[in-house]
Amino acid sequence: MEIPKELLYTQEHEWILFDDSANTATIGITDYAQGELGDIVFVELPNVGATVKQMDPFGTIEAVKAVSDLFSPVTGEVVEVNSLLQDRPELINQDPYDKGWMIKVKISDSSELNSLMSPEDYKTHIS
Amino acid sequence: MSELLFDLSEKNRKGYTLPQRRVPQKETNKLIPNEFIRKQPARLPEVSENEVVRHFIALSRLNHHVDKGFYPLGSCTMKYNPKINENVANSACLKDLHPMQSTRLTQGALALMYELSEYLREIAGMKAVTLQPAAGAHGELVGLMLIRAYHENQGNPRQNILIPDSAHGTNPASVTISGYSAVQVKSNEKGLVDLEDLRSKLDENTAALMLTNPNTLGIFETQIAQINNMLREVGALLYMDGANLNALLGIVRPGDIGVDVLHFNLHKSFSTPHGGGGPGSGPVGVSEKLIDFLPVPKLTKNENEYCWDYDCPKSIGRVHSFYGNFGIMIRAYAYIRMLGSHGLKRVSENAIINANYLMKELESHFQLPFAGPRMHEFVLSGSKQKEQGVSTAEIAKRILDYGFHAPTVYFPLIVREAIMIEPTETESKQTLDRFAACMIDIAKEVENNPEMVKNAPHTTPVSRLDEVRAIRQPDIRYNFDNT
């Protein structure tokens, strides 16, 4: 199970990569989450310009066995959406931390990052 | 795979003979306006009677169904349908009725509907019942519309419906469609509603709590009295999802434990068919304070005559064409009359005994989350097997090799690698023992021969289907032009 060191995590199995210089964050779901969900067939993401709120649903993900909400690790404005996922949601299964990224958000309050889990904490959370 | 009926079609072959014409022939275009006449004949398969019969019998042999073998999906999907129900529903005096016939000519059918709603009312301890909703989820929507009408009548429709995290997915879906917001309530370490979490989410904006009792873990919500008190304090109502009523017949009446709205699923608790998505029937029962809002028309009895009452100014209106799915009501009526009050109680008692027997047989081979006895169903976790590299989905596939249908898996969501088993009351001890032996065999295979499980099923007409492609690129239309 891959848990990259440079990321922060939520209880709901989203990861976030913070880019200090641009004050933006890239968001996706973890390797553990994609493994638990199994084959992903559809993902519904917000439009660019939408606002997301910390730990509110920002989209839904549909796997063969269940449909789940996606929870935003931070509050902010969506500045980019991975449009590849529309036709190729399997990228989330194949490459959850890179090609399977979901949205980029301009963060409104970077102190929210303090409430997220470190890679070590996330590892404990899923074991 | 077998050919489709379209593939068997031969031009001008037919399986019927029309009776000799006894009225003068008229041209179609003199009877029907031109814009409604087909320009090309419908492309129906042209086959003889025995071809049709053989085709469907062949398909039914590839399929698994409750007439062919045990399925541990239980009443959650549909109970065994006693054949006498079909005989009654197929009697000419019932099946040839038309809902446009006058009430004078349909008193028998109205009597059946009236008595069925009285039986359901008595069984559930509710004050009134509507038979209109088309199935369970429709019943949920109607129940929520009644709740909204009640609160609107009090001056404020309110915003939230609370739902435990163990609930069926239809609950939040119905809540959303009815215009309310679903708020999730956690379960505690016993698998029951966490009262602290409930308290923190309950306020004057709460329209109702939507509770399934027993819940989807098969555990009876023993704190129901406290929950009720908490709801009353803020003026919220109690909705009970009747999905698990099969555990309560003749034992607990939801109306007696403070339920304001209850939907029945006639296919789950009263043995009506529900194949292929319907037709179903999802009657709704209500407490005193919601009676005025029930759908119209209401079936009433004046002296010696049954009639429809449309004069209900506070009603939410009509929720189904005519009066609901009458054919399904006949079957439920036959079932209730066949069993009587003692028989119905024995249904639930046997459903509970069967579930607990199977649970005891299996609990040492799989992980059993939450302690204590269960009602009519129980949920195992395949997490022990998952750690050994075999998932619940693979175990479910392997069960097919033993001639059983797989149980519900990955639900409820609060149990990891969930395997939900509901045998129902109709299965014999021998069948339960055979199923237990199958599950124990598979648990051993996971340890000794995991590949056997991971590559299952081995004996079914087809093995693993491409579920992803089936969802993403469904191919459901016969392509005439490629033949």
- Chain A positions in Cβ-Cβ contact with residue B169 (cut-off 8 Å): 67
d(CA B305, CA B334): 22
B313/B179 same-domain check: yes
Chain A interface mutation, best of B392, B410, B465, highest count of A Cβ atoms under 10 Å: B410
B315/B422 same-domain check: no
Q: Show contacts of B456-459: CB within 8 Å, 24+ apart.
A: B456/B394, B456/B397, B456/B398, B456/B400, B456/B401, B457/B397, B457/B398, B457/B400, B457/B401, B458/B401, B459/B400, B459/B401
Q: What is the DSSP string of B121-182?
A: HHHHT-SEEE---SSHHHHHHHHHHHHHHHHHHTT---SEEEEETTS-THHHHHHHHTT-EE
Residue B420: give its domain's CATH number: 3.90.1150.10
d(CA B311, CA B66): 44
- Domain of residue B277 covers 86-338
Which tokens is A125 given? Answer: 């959370």
Residue A95: give its domain's CATH number: 2.40.50.100
Give the per-residue pLDDT at B18: 87
Judge contact between B204 and B158, C-beta under 8 A.
yes
Q: Is the minimum CB–CB distance between A84 and chain B shorter than 8 Å?
A: no
Cis peptide before A57 (omega within 30 of 0): no
Look at residue B354 and give its three-state secondary structure. helix
Output the CA torsion sign for B122, B123, B125, B129. negative
- Chain B positions in Cβ-Cβ contact with residue A35 (cut-off 8 Å): none
Span A24-73, pLDDT tens digits: 999 999 999 999 899 999 999 999 999 999 999 999 999 987 889 999 99
Domain boundary among the residues B323, B338, B353 is at: B338
- Total number of domains in chain A: 1
B259/B405 same-domain check: no
Stated pTM of the model: 0.89
Q: Kindly state whether residue B78 falls inside one of the protein's structural domains.
A: no
Look at residue B223 and give its three-state secondary structure. coil
In eight-state DSSP terms, residue B63 is S
Q: Kindly state whether residue B480 falls inside one of the protein's structural domains.
A: no
| Residue A99 predicted with pLDDT over 60 | yes
B268/B356 same-domain check: no
Cis peptide before B279 (omega within 30 of 0): yes
d(CA A88, CA A67): 17
Could you state, in chain order, the average pLDDT of each consecutive group of 10 residues for chain B (483 residues)? 86 89 90 92 92 93 89 87 95 92 95 98 98 96 98 98 95 96 96 98 98 97 97 98 97 97 96 79 97 97 93 97 95 97 98 98 96 95 96 96 95 94 97 98 98 96 89 86 67
Give the per-residue pLDDT at B15: 86
Give the per-residue pLDDT at B75: 84
The single residue listed with the structure tokens 């910390």 is A54
CB contact under 8 A, B468 and A42: no
CB contact under 8 A, A66 and B413: yes
Domain boundary among the residues B304, B338, B372 is at: B338
Model confidence band, residue A1 (pLDDT cutoffs 50, 70, 90):
confident
B178/B278 same-domain check: yes
- Domain of residue A103 covers 8-112
Q: Kindly state whether residue A121 falls inside one of the protein's structural domains.
A: no
Angle, nearest 10°, between helix axes B392-401 and B429-448?
A: 120
- Total number of domains in chain B: 3
In 3D space, the residue among A72, A63, A122 whose CA is nearest the CA of residue A92 turns out to be A63
Which of A41, A66, A67 is the closest to B468 by Cβ?
A41
Residues 6+ apart with CB under 8 A from B359: B368, B374, B378, B421
Judge contact between B360 and B304, C-beta under 8 A.
no
CA distances (Å), origin B131, targets A89, B269, B427 = 43, 15, 29
d(CA B212, CA B12): 55
Give the per-residue pLDDT at B481: 79
Q: Kindly state whether residue A124 falls inside one of the protein's structural domains.
A: no
